[in-house]
Structure 1
Amino acid sequence: MTTRPARASSANSRLPRDASPGWDELGLAVAQLACDGRLLRGNRTFLALTRGLPGEPGQPGMDWLQLLAPSARGAFFAALAERRSSIEPLPCTVANGREPRWLAFTLRWRPAGTECVAVLHDVTELQRSEALATAHFDQLRDLADRVPLMMGYHEAGELRCTYANQPYAHAFGFDVQAIHGCSIPQVLGEELAQQVQPFIAQALRSGQRCSCEQEIELADGHRVWTEVAFAPQHDDAGRVQGLFVLLSDLTRHRSAERAMIESEERLAKFMQASVEGILFHRDGRIADANPAICELLGQTLHELLGRRVLDLIAPEQRSRVAHVAAAGKDVTYETALMHRDGSRLPVEFIERSSLQQGLHMRMTIVRDVRDRHAAQARLHYLAHHDPLTGLPNRAAFLAQLEHLMVAARAAGTQLALLFIDLDHFERVNDSVGHTAGDALLKTVARRIGEQVRSTDRLARFGGDEFMVLLPGVRDPADVIHVANKLLTAVSAPLAIEGRPISVTPSLGIALYPRDGETPDVLIKHADAAMHVAKARGRATYAIFEPQVATSAYANLVLEGQLGHAIEHGEFALLFQPQVRTRDGMPVGVEALIRWQHPERGLLAPDEFIALAEQHRLIVPIGAWVLREAARCARHWHQHGLDLTVAVNLSTLQFQAPGFVDSIDRLLKETGLPTGWLELELTERMLMDDVPAVRERLLQLRALGVKLSVDDFGTGYSSLAHLKELPIDKMKIDRSFVRELPGQRQATAIARAIIQLASGLGLGVVAEGVETDAQRRFLAEAGCEQLQGLGISPPLTAPHLESWVRSRRSALDSSPA
């Protein structure tokens, strides 16, 4: 807003009515102009003003209009054409870098309007002042629009708005022009105006600034918290001229305050609910503590407040805790506190810096780690001990063995390592269950521990294997004495869950340094000696001998080669014929496995079967034998050779889960007719678990499989049980046949087996027949079938076909 002076009226009072020489005394620039602006005449002041312009100064023809800036001349001519009495300030031509000047004009026209007298006013200083005032006003208005404050001014009386900055106007849905003249209720709204009316009245009455906090809704729908202030404006006499309305947005501050309050409330709740102790301390003294730390220390909050934190620390830990506290870093570490009763509490400190009510504090989270330490101790125990017996485990024993070897080497003494393995322990688990087996292992561990010295070392090596280490051995006889004590103690009968159980150990002994200078070698040799004890009939001990290691290594190599043989099909089947005794007609064959060893040539079963059984390789080998035998039998059947094929079973194969189902699948896949597959089982296999064996034999019989007892008379079968089993045939062992007919006991046994078989309705076959005298005796005794080298050696499948055809042809052509 600008207010310009009424220049025309002041000039008119001094303007002469007619141009005359008296103009020079006026002190103003006066010129007589034609209606088109041509100069007719000018006074001395005018001449001084236009000095330097073209033409004769002050005379007609002088181009005085060049005094005006080109941009201003159009406005000048327009004013002349309209016969105005005054012309607003016009800029003058600027020369020589001088600052621009401004001229205003007062005009008096002749009645005819053909010419006028013009008075020129130099208003440069006034124009500059007005421009500066306008600039200052615009700057203040811009500043008022930019400040983070909603500001309006309402004049006294009806309190209508005469000024508002943009934030004030826009906040309530106005622009800065439309809000002018609006009352406070019209601007703020009736509801808000009523709420603040008491503060307006107080400000007008007291003449002092009054304020309140209000939540208001802006024109855009947002609700904000504001401080609403009313500041009166006074005149020189102290009367209230108007009222400034000032609104400051407090939303951010309110949100921060609310967040801080909520944070403090959460912290308070967390402290109260946390199961871990929390301490706040400043300058080393406790400022606050939660119930958990009070309970942990056995002290009340009142007793803790103000105390030094270091007073709670175990004495030997205080210097360390003080050093950590002085560093002021966020760290986690373990230390120890002192309970009220004087006991030590292992804890973990989690140190953090915090700000509370503007004060820097340290927060310590105190975590009780007693359970953690107990768990770590338990884990350490479990890592080094057998969980069932509580004895040191393999890892712990190996560490002890290595340490004692070093000590023995330094002292020049011997160590004795006793490797104990329980005989047939798996039968305990299979017959009475794993719970009873575990109870047996714990009893065995206790019995072994009772027989050794406190300086001896005892460990469970895994499964049913135990280790005893005797340090300081000077006489091997002492070791044998301990071994005998252990054999006696372990073998003693015991009752598990009300059942009498007896188990025997096999024990291998190796001496350091004679039998090995490293833990691995000494254990390997003790293990080898233990297997020698088992081979000697179990329930005994054996001392390591070098040749045992050689044999063990050879078996290890052979075991690896067996695995390779299974993968690469290095096995072959030979078939030994079985003939009827009365006419020699072929009626069946026994499948005999051979191993085509890549280096050693064709190996008989006694060179690898025992090792295969020991390492459970017999199961895949036996499955291959069954498949190959069934395939050959099917082939012979398709070519007119009706022969029963007998296959020996191993204990592991017969007891394997799913064995019966595998036979069923085999018969279906090969299409082998009923009764053409015969399975041979040993007496021992039949007696292991008679009810279970009988059930399995019945299932096999239902599939059409024939069953025979191999090597009858060499085992310990019970005739009472034997008669309950679905057996088709008995085989007289070659050990009896070999002595026939000259050995009296052999003839008696052979006749007894034949008569027993006849009485039970079973077929009988004698194996190992080699001589005519044996054949005649067996025929006279009533043996139905014969097998052995006296009949035919084992043959390959093609040779067997030729032999059977040739034999049958010869028998068919012979006279009856």
Structure 2
Amino acid sequence: MEEFTGSYNYWIVALSIFIASFAAYSALDLTSRVIHSTGWKRRIWLYVGSFVMSLGIWSMHFVGMVAFQMDMPMIYDQWLMILSFAAAYIGSFIAFFTINLKSRLNNRRLITAGLFMGASISAMHYIGMAAMEGMTISYDYALFSLSILVAVIASMTALKMFCELALMEASPKLFLYKMLSAVLMGIAISGMHYIGMNAASFSGEMDHVHTGGIDLTTTAIIVSAFIVMIQCFFVVGAFTDRQLASQSALLSDNEHRYQSLLDHSIDAIFTTDLHGNFTKMNKSGSKLIGIPEYKWKNVSLASVFSGEEMDHVSYQFRKVVSEEKPSSFDSIIHSKDQAVHLNTTLIPMYLGSELEGIHGIVRDISAQVEAEEEIHAIAYTDQLTGLPNRRYFVNKIEKTLAVADGKTVLFFLDLNRFKMINDSLGHSVGDLLLKGSAKRLQECLGETAVLARLGGDEFTILLPVVEHDGYPTQVAESIIKAFDKPIHVLGHSLYTSLSIGIAVAPEDGITSDELMKHADIAMYTAKSRSKSNYAYYHASLSLKTETMLKLEQELKQGIANDEFFLVYQPQISCVQRNIVGVEALVRWKTQSGTIKNPGDFIPLSEETGLIIPLGEAILDMACSQAKKWEQAGTPIQISVNLSPKQFQSDDIVDYVAATLHRYNLSPTLLELEVTESMTMDHMDRSIDILNKFRDLGVSLSIDDFGTGHSSLSYLKEFPIQRLKIDRSFIKDIHSDAKTEKITSAIIAMGRHLNLSITAEGAETAEQVSYLEDHHCSDIQGFYFSKPLSPEEIEANYFMNKKNSSVSS
């Protein structure tokens, strides 16, 4: 026997390594399909992956043997070759099965799989070596053992990498990792083969000829190409399956998302055929309408909607089908005995280019509708009385005028005495009075009339239909008569009345602004006549109103430009006939140079509220003048009248204190005059304010005593020092016995109460003599002096104080 030696064809060696690497990549790719598949597909890919891996290992061995060239032809036993392939397949299958169990790969399973894979590679190699006929092979056991160890370690490493990479997301980096892993596995498999070949020694007879075997030298390249083609086929199959699986997963995800959308949507979502029969409805829709999900098949629109709503929905449905355009609309259904407001969107649903059905989305907008109605109520309803408010009323006037073909009448009503009742009895009583008044007004009106509350104690009425010319007068008189009876509120029987202004369209205006303005003007005319009256508007009223507005503007400018000044009327002692004080009286010198008396502007200033800044200016000028006279050594007390609005203001005491402080004026030099009427509305508050004035050191007097709510009780309660008898009593003192007796009684009462008594309006010697005889304290009137400027006061009364007695 001869010992044979051989050499390697390195091109074929490189081909064997490529086949091993490509087989490893194919197996790696197929392994991922095993991990990501389930059921029968998982088993198929397990068989295919094992086949491709074993085929790659076997083909590498086959090509590697061809690469080893000896002097004699190499003939193989075909049954042992088949057995070697079977060993490779069984080991690969067991290894792949072990690593692809559902549970996470652990070291125990990895070692088991690696041992089986390494054993299968080794078995395949050495059975293939044994298949060589006419050859005696002996082995170097160190290299023999090393080859098996390399096979096991390489298998474990490759299987671990296969599992880790199969779980990664697809990316260019993953492809690179797969390539590197496949090359490593290919080198490991090839390394085991060539270590095993190096461990073998071959011997035999050169003249021993065998027949019937396989001569692989001429077919190595063809077999290699065929093996690669098979592996490519499976790789392409795995890629295709991956794409299909990805698309299937995407479709499945989309289906799950869509189903999740249907199941969890708060809106009703449905589909119908082109005849309006439901084919599907989600849970929200079933709950909303009250029909279980499984019963929606072939339910028609008529089963959900009825009457006019069905006609409306059917029209919208036919419109979507015919025009093939989406449509959105609102509708109402009755579910569980209550109306449900719906917003429905219908969308054409296509299969390819053909209209297949209608997709619908329905939202319950009942809460939104209710909120809108509440907002509308807030925007257009008076919250206290429930009547329409100004915004609603103005819109109603405009709409009525736009379509009116006859007369339209507007009433403007003001509730008399409301402020007094509201202030004295409290806002809760005032609110109930307004509600009661609204109810009583409503009872006086017909069905077509519109009653509204503009705010405060102002109401308006619109008569869109006027039955005859005298109809507005009848309505006004019936309203006034209705308020002759008291309104009972919380135990109070409250009497009030109405002042009504009436404007008629189109004579008095053709817009809401014109009518309301003119009715308001007429209302103030009615109020000026009496506290329970009505008046129709006419053009002359506007002229008067425009005059008043012009005067109001001039009054504002006059206050701002310091056009007001004070004159002072002396108060003369009845005992010593000397000056004991002066009363400050305001005058207005306009820009034209005209001097206006208080009667020309005080009523308007009271009405407009300008009396507050005007009163502050008067108090400021009086204190300034008092300080000048004090510094000149001729101190004298100045009396200043407070208006009702001034007295009722919250900061009147603080303002008086601040003014005294600003001029460093002794409070004894200031006397404040209030009327009986202004102190009677809020007795407790009035007493509190007067006491605060006395705490400042200011003197107090009651002006025009005897003309208001005269009461002996308040003379006891109020901290006053003086009574001023109204000029109306002094005027008739000698012509009316009752007046004379009242005057003497006032003087006597004042003296007994230790109050100073000042008589206003004394113009004759007889009046002065009478007052002196009845021991009146002081006299103020034209008998002694008209109102004078500060310079005239100084010249007439202060220049010669030693001879200061006064004569007429």
Identify the TM-score tier after normalising by the shorter chain.
Answer: 0.5 to 0.7
1:168 alignment counterpart: none
Shift of 1:538: 1.1
1:300 alignment counterpart: 292
> Following the alignment from structure 1 to structure 2, what is the Cα–Cα distance between the partners of residues 255 and 719?
105
Q: Does the alignment pair 1:491 with 2:491?
A: no
2:344 alignment partner, one of 349, 352, 356 = 349
1:506 alignment counterpart: 499
1:637 alignment counterpart: 630
2:617 alignment partner, one of 624, 631, 637 = 624
Which letter maps to 2:625? C
Which letter maps to 1:505? L
Which letter maps to 1:294? S
Of 551-560 and 359-368, deviating more is: 359-368
Q: Does the alignment pair 1:321 with 2:317?
A: yes
Of 614-623 and 278-287, deviating more is: 278-287
Between 1 and 2, higher relative CO (CA 8 Å, sep ≥ 6) is seen in: 2
> Following the alignment from structure 2 to structure 1, what is the Cα–Cα distance between the partners of residues 410 and 656?
46
The answer on whether the counterparts of 1:296 and 1:339 sit within 8 Å (CA) in structure 2 is no
> Following the alignment from structure 1 to structure 2, what is the Cα–Cα distance between the partners of residues 813 and 442?
62
- Cα deviation 1:477-502 (Å, max 9, x = unaligned): x5444433212212321221222322
- Cα deviation 1:571-593 (Å, max 9, x = unaligned): 22222222222223222221211
Q: Number of paired residues?
A: 652
> Following the alignment from structure 1 to structure 2, what is the Cα–Cα distance between the partners of residues 679 and 646?
6
Shift of 1:786: 1.7
- Cα deviation 1:743-798 (Å, max 9, x = unaligned): 43332222111112112221111122222222222111111112222222222333
> Following the alignment from structure 1 to structure 2, what is the Cα–Cα distance between the partners of residues 776 and 294?
103
Shift of 1:800: 2.9
Shift of 1:615: 1.5
- Cα deviation 1:596-618 (Å, max 9, x = unaligned): 22247111111111111111111
* TM-score (ref. length: structure 2): 0.67
The answer on whether the counterparts of 2:452 and 2:460 sit within 8 Å (CA) in structure 1 is yes
The answer on whether the counterparts of 1:216 and 1:223 sit within 8 Å (CA) in structure 2 is no
1:215 alignment counterpart: 167
Of 363-372 and 675-684, deviating more is: 363-372
1:652 alignment counterpart: 645
> Following the alignment from structure 1 to structure 2, what is the Cα–Cα distance between the partners of residues 645 and 428?
35
- Cα deviation 1:12-37 (Å, max 9, x = unaligned): xxxxxxxxxxxxxxxxxxxxxxxxxx
1:291 alignment partner, one of 283, 293, 318 = 283
Alpha carbons of 1:466 and 1:249: their partners in 2 closer, same or farther (altered >3 Å)?
same
Where 2:667 maps in the other structure, the secondary structure is coil
> Following the alignment from structure 1 to structure 2, what is the Cα–Cα distance between the partners of residues 681 and 387?
39
Which letter maps to 2:484? S
Q: Does the alignment pair 1:373 with 2:369?
A: yes
The answer on whether the counterparts of 2:503 and 2:515 sit within 8 Å (CA) in structure 1 is yes
Shift of 1:674: 2.6
Which letter maps to 2:312? E
Rg bigger for which structure? 1
Q: Does the alignment pair 1:276 with 2:241?
A: no
> Following the alignment from structure 1 to structure 2, what is the Cα–Cα distance between the partners of residues 796 and 806?
15
Please give the residue correspondences for 1:323-472 in structure 2 after superposition, counting only pairs within 5 Å. 323-324=319-320, 333-336=328-331, 345-350=340-345, 364-401=360-397, 410-411=405-406, 416-470=409-463, 471-472=465-466
Of 536-545 and 418-427, deviating more is: 536-545
2:783 alignment partner, one of 766, 790, 795 = 790
> Following the alignment from structure 1 to structure 2, what is the Cα–Cα distance between the partners of residues 225 and 496?
93
2:528 alignment partner, one of 527, 530, 535 = 535
> Following the alignment from structure 2 to structure 1, what is the Cα–Cα distance between the partners of residues 327 and 336?
26
The answer on whether the counterparts of 1:226 and 1:249 sit within 8 Å (CA) in structure 2 is no
Shift of 1:193: 4.8
- Cα deviation 1:330-368 (Å, max 9, x = unaligned): x67224375678998542235689999xx9998643111
Shift of 1:711: 0.5
> Following the alignment from structure 1 to structure 2, what is the Cα–Cα distance between the partners of residues 679 and 774?
26
Alpha carbons of 1:527 and 1:340: their partners in 2 closer, same or farther (altered >3 Å)?
closer
Shift of 1:461: 3.4
2:796 alignment partner, one of 803, 806, 809 = 803
> Following the alignment from structure 1 to structure 2, what is the Cα–Cα distance between the partners of residues 775 and 568?
40
2:719 alignment partner, one of 714, 726, 738 = 726
1:561 alignment counterpart: 554
Shift of 1:295: 1.6
Please give the residue correspondences for 1:665-704 in structure 2 after superposition, counting only pairs within 5 Å. 665-704=658-697
The answer on whether the counterparts of 1:683 and 1:712 sit within 8 Å (CA) in structure 2 is yes
- Cα deviation 1:249-276 (Å, max 9, x = unaligned): 9999999999987877676566445433
Which letter maps to 1:441? L
1:34 alignment counterpart: none
The answer on whether the counterparts of 1:215 and 1:225 sit within 8 Å (CA) in structure 2 is no
* TM-score (ref. length: structure 1): 0.67
1:710 alignment counterpart: 703
Alpha carbons of 1:326 and 1:737: their partners in 2 closer, same or farther (altered >3 Å)?
same
The answer on whether the counterparts of 2:320 and 2:327 sit within 8 Å (CA) in structure 1 is no
> Following the alignment from structure 2 to structure 1, what is the Cα–Cα distance between the partners of residues 806 and 450?
79
Alpha carbons of 1:405 and 1:784: their partners in 2 closer, same or farther (altered >3 Å)?
same
The answer on whether the counterparts of 1:491 and 1:505 sit within 8 Å (CA) in structure 2 is no
The answer on whether the counterparts of 1:235 and 1:241 sit within 8 Å (CA) in structure 2 is no
- Cα deviation 1:701-731 (Å, max 9, x = unaligned): 1111211111001112221233211111111
Shift of 1:646: 1.3
Alpha carbons of 1:791 and 1:459: their partners in 2 closer, same or farther (altered >3 Å)?
same
Which letter maps to 1:700? F
Shift of 1:297: 1.4
Which letter maps to 1:296? L
Alpha carbons of 1:143 and 1:763: their partners in 2 closer, same or farther (altered >3 Å)?
farther
Shift of 1:445: 1.7
Where 1:675 maps in the other structure, the secondary structure is helix
Shift of 1:400: 4.6
Q: Any gaps of 5 or more consecutive residues in structure 1? A: 1-129, 164-182
Q: Does the alignment pair 1:608 with 2:601?
A: yes
1:114 alignment counterpart: none
Shift of 1:460: 2.5
> Following the alignment from structure 2 to structure 1, what is the Cα–Cα distance between the partners of residues 722 and 507?
54
- Cα deviation 1:175-223 (Å, max 9, x = unaligned): xxxxxxxx999xxx9959548659958997999xx997843699x9999
More strand by share: 1
CA RMSD after TM alignment: 5.4
Alpha carbons of 1:258 and 1:750: their partners in 2 closer, same or farther (altered >3 Å)?
farther
The answer on whether the counterparts of 2:578 and 2:805 sit within 8 Å (CA) in structure 1 is no
The answer on whether the counterparts of 2:408 and 2:462 sit within 8 Å (CA) in structure 1 is yes
Alpha carbons of 1:544 and 1:473: their partners in 2 closer, same or farther (altered >3 Å)?
farther
- Cα deviation 1:127-167 (Å, max 9, x = unaligned): xxx9xx9xx99x9999999999989999849999x99xxxx
The answer on whether the counterparts of 1:393 and 1:460 sit within 8 Å (CA) in structure 2 is yes
Which letter maps to 1:525? H
